[in-house]
Chain A
């Protein structure tokens, strides 16, 4: 089971935030096929949000084929976004490498903002390059 949270200042519509959090959890393997999402009542009681917003997010996830409501039982995950066991197995060594890299960045005198900027710009360049090669 996952717990939702809401960032009021992000400018992202609340239902989109909920969708993103489910997708994120699916990607990280926190949610697997057959897992149950929290009930609408549980979500609203936790984050003080309009029930229709939660329903809308769940409908959207259902439309994407990620979840399936079962009447009287709840909403269940039907598909995972993590690239299979192999990809999940790769998470751990990759995370170790990244931690090592972060340690070196800190040792070189970069602060949090520097690290974040460097990560995002590199990630962007990398994505654009790949997209360019494909296109």
Chain B
């Protein structure tokens, strides 16, 4: 059974090995230079007021090659679940049903369940190996640039770092198998799988993730030096936000509250904040308005806790889908 699985899967397996090897080799070759720059720019050892150093480092580090590698590495991990779902998962049962060969193979001395278990384990293992390889290299390589940029807590980046890509790839693969089994035709199953994986990749980060760890809620007095955005509308309405208290945090909400505790939107003083006054005058005026920042965020030190919890959730989904597929193949596929 393992021989047959390997024989049917070997071309796809070689494609994946080549793909993973190319990505890993490119990152392994360029990583040391990136880390050298990370240290020599002083950014690696920087502890406070690193904004300027970070900008300098980013400017030096993001040449065309590194920018491409950053995008390709991150993109590869974001696309991997969809690709394994479409090309490994969806056709696995659907193609057999489509060509009628399921009637050939299930009439050998091997039960349908064992046939499926061997296929799920073999190809599932290949999926995990590919995801682990690419994610390990990408996670290592991107540390300096992530630190200097919006940070690896940023939702799209978070999904392409650490252990969660393994979980997404596993879910993508098993979802593809299940969809192929239910839809019974390979091409439609591939299309449905693509949609399903995209849905999981949107729903988990933007709906589920924030519930996996307890976010930090903080209030801080308004500090004009930390203003992130300041906008004044012609009707004297004012929008002001202040940067989060921790660098690299994933900010869930960030508002400015007025003295009454409600969200503050002015009205602004038309003299201080109007055309006559400069921005500094307006900021000083704002400082006297008794404003408070109310911010909810997940700090970057929760990165690994959140990684493992999300991975656990995805692993449970993959297992449940596998169990469902074993039930379905016995009952409903013929």
Do the two chains touch directly in the complex (Cβ atoms below 8 Å apart)?
no
